[in-house]
Amino acid sequence: MGHPMFAYDEKATEAIFAYCRERLALDPVPLDYGGLFDIPADEVAGLITQEGRPVEEVLALFERDLAPAVVSIDAPTFLAFIPNSPTKNSLLFDMVVACSGLNGTSWLEAAGVVTAENQALDFLSRRAGLPAGAGGAFVSGGSMGNLASLTVARDVGRARHPEIEPHRVRIAISADAHASVGKALHVIGVEPFEVATTDHRFTLEALRAALAADPHPETVVAIVATAGTTNAGIVDDLEGLGTYAREHDLWFHVDGAYGGAAMLAPSHREIFAGLRHADSFVVDPHKWLFAPLDCAALIYRNPTIARTVLAQQAGYLDILHVSDDADYDWNPSDFAIHLSRRARGLPFWFSLVTYGVGAYESAIERGIELARITEEMVRARPDLEMVRPASLSIALFRRPGWSEARYNEWSLQLLRDQVAFVTPTKWEGETIGRFAFLHPDTDESTIAQVLDSLRD
C-alpha cells in the first residue's frame, strides 16, 4: 500500500468528473456574481484540519459557496476589461494537462510537449510574418512576455552600445502602452523614453519628433509598439516604427497581448503587416485566441539571443544543454524568466489543431463585427455617443452628463441583474462606457439591453 494521497480513488474521481462535465455542458456560461455574492464566512472557515475531509463534502461546499462568487470571465456576457473565452476543446485538453501533471520545461524531459507547443508558436510566428527560426515559449501572460522581451532588449542594447553607460540606455514607449510595459522597465531599471501619441496611436512621426527634441537620442536602444491598445484597440504604426528600428539597429518589441490575434482576421491583415519587423512579439492565447488562463505566446526573431540572456545556468542543469541533437537544446525554460513550467501551450495547440484555423479566423472576425454593430446601435440612440470609432473588438461610448459614480452604479446594477459585466474606463480624463468583445456568441440583444440601460 502506498501513501493515501497518491492512491486512486474511484468515487472522488467520479465526483470531480461529474462536476467538470456539468461545467463544460453550460452553453452559454452564466455570468455569476463575483464580489457581489455574499460568501458565508462561517461555512468556509476552519476547513483545513489535521485529518482532512471527504472529497464530496468539500466539492459540494466549493460549488455552493465559492464558485458562484466568481464572475465567469468566459461568459459571453462578460464584456469588461479583456475577457477570457476558452473553447470547449481547449478546456478539455487543459484537463489532460492537469491530470497528467504535464511539464514543459526542457527538451530532455518533455520533447513531446515542446514539439506540440512549438508547432503552435510557429503557426503564430509565420502569421506574424517572422522568418523561419523564430521561436520562444508560452509564458503566464503578456506581462511576463513583456518583461522577458525587454530584458533581452536592454542587454542587446547595452552590448551594441558599449560607449553608453549601461544605466543610461532607454527604451521608447508610448503613453498608451500597457501598464505592464512601464512596470517591466521599472523592474529592469531602464528609464522609459515616453513618446506622446497622435489620437492615442504611436507613430513614426511622433518618435522622430521626440528623438529630435531630446539631448541624448543615442541612448534609446529599443522601441515598444502596441498592436491593439487595451483601452481602445488601437494598433500603432508597426510598419513605420518597425522599419525605423531596422534601419537604426534598435530592438523592436511588439506587445500584441490583446490585439495581436486580429492578425488572423482576414479584414485586418494589412494593419498587422509591420509585425514582420519585430525582434520580439507577444500575443496572449488566453485573450483573443480562446485558450484558458494562463497562456501568452512569446516569440523572438532570434531565439538564440534570448537564450543567451535569459537561460538559467547551474551544474544541475548542464545536462539540458549537452547533446549533438539539434533539437536537444530547445528548452522553453530558457526563453523567459522562469524554469519549471506546466505545458500551458497545449490547450491552445489542441484547440487550434482540432477546430482548424478557419474557425479561429471567423471567431475573431465576429468580435470585430460586434464592436461595429455596437457603433451602429449607439449612433441610432440620440442620448448616447461614440467616443471614437470602434477599433478591433473594442467600443467606447458615453452617456453625456454622467459622472464616474453614475457609471459605476450602472455597471454594478447590470452585474446584479445578471445582464452583463460591463465596466467603465477613463478616456482623456473622462469616465466613459466600454465594451471589449471576444466571445463570438455574445448576443446582439445583450448589447442593446446594456445600451438601453444607460438611463437616468
Ligand X SMILES: *Cc1c(COP(=O)(O)O)cnc(C)c1O
231 binds ligand X (CB under 6 A): no
Residue 257 binding ligand X, by CB under 6 A: yes
Q: Which of 149, 180, 391, 411: binder of ligand X (CB under 6 A)?
A: 180
Of 56-64, 109-117, 198-206, 250-258: span binding ligand X (CB under 6 A): 250-258
Among 77, 230, 411, 446, binds ligand X (CB under 6 A): 230
200 binds ligand X per the rule CB under 6 A: no
Radius of gyration, alpha carbons of the chain: 24
Rounded CA separation 88/174 (Å): 37
Instruction: For residues 77 and 420, give the distance between their C-alpha atoms in angstroms, rounded to a whole number.
Output: 5
Beta strands in 312-408 (DSSP E): 385-386, 394-398
Q: According to the binding rule CB under 6 A, does residue 176 interact with ligand X?
A: no
Site string for ligand X, 132-161 (x = CB under 6 A): ---------xxx------------------
Residue 271 to residue 375: CA distance in whole angstroms: 21
Q: How far is the CB of 249 from ligand X (least distance, A)?
A: 25
Burial, 211: exposed, middle or buried (Cβ in 10 Å; 0-12, 13-18, 19+)?
middle
- Closer by beta carbon to ligand X, 87 or else 180: 180
Determine if 296 is a binding residue for ligand X (CB under 6 A). yes
Residue nearer to ligand X on the CB measure, 83 or 320: 83
Mapping DSSP to helix (H, G, I), strand (E, B) and coil, where does residue 195 land?
A: strand
In the complex, least distance from residue 128 CB atom to ligand X, rounded to whole angstroms: 15
> How many residues touch ligand X (CB under 6 A)?
13
Asked if 296 contacts 285 with a C-beta cutoff of 8 angstroms, the reply is yes
Q: Does 284 bind ligand X (CB under 6 A)?
A: yes
Q: Provide the β-strand partners of residue 425.
A: 432
Tell me which residue of 100, 99, 94, 102 sits closest to 23, measured CA to CA: 94
- Minimum distance of ligand X from residue 139's CB (angstroms): 9
255 binds ligand X (CB under 6 A): yes
Nearest 10 degrees: Cα torsion 257, 263, 267, 269: 140
Please give the Cα distance from 37 to 33 (Å, whole number). Answer: 5
Within 10 A of 6 (CB to CB), how many other CB atoms are there?
Answer: 6
- For residue 355, give the C-alpha cell: 477546430
Q: In the beta sheet, which residues pair with residue 391? A: 394
Q: Is 236 in the site for ligand X (CB under 6 A)?
A: no
Give the nearer residue to ligand X in terms of CB position, either 345 or 378: 345
Site mask, ligand X, residues 335-364, x = CB under 6 A?
A: ------------------------------
Which residues form the interface with ligand X (CB under 6 A)? 82, 141-143, 178, 180, 226, 230, 255, 257-258, 284, 296
